[in-house]
Amino acid sequence: MGCQPHIVTLGTVLTLVFAPRAAQARTWHINPDGTGDAPTIQAAMDSARAGDEVVLASGSYTWTSQGASGFDMIRMKADVTLRSEVNEPEAVILDAEQRGRVIRCID
């Protein structure tokens, strides 16, 4: 009986040491001039994980400035939020320049 507390304690220590750490959500800040945490909205989307946010600074984001190709300017990722830095509808403009779809949401 004297050994039981030590076994429980060891088990608790091993659980704490080897338990997977919960991933923390990240906020990706993107600027129209290509500065920020990623050079483009799509680069941030590609790097983001579930629960992350991609936050756009005020300005205009075009097909050309974003280096878009294919049929979509931005391909959303499941469980990633895309939003404006400010709460003004006209603050962020996404312009596909008539080359394709602005945003594609899958899942």
Residue 80 has pLDDT above 80, yes or no: yes
Q: What does the DSSP assignment read for the chain?
A: -TTHHHHHHHHHHHHHHHSPPPPPP-EEEE-TTS-BSSSSHHHHHHH--TT-EEEEPSEEEETTTTT-BTTEEEE--TT-EEEESSS-GGGEEEE-TTSSEEEE---
**Residue range 4-46, pLDDT digits in tens:** 544 443 433 434 444 444 568 999 999 999 999 999 999 999 9
| Stronger pLDDT, 3 or 48, i.e. the higher one | 48
Q: What is the reported pLDDT for 90?
A: 87
**Residue range 45-75, pLDDT digits in tens:** 999 999 999 999 999 999 999 999 999 999 9
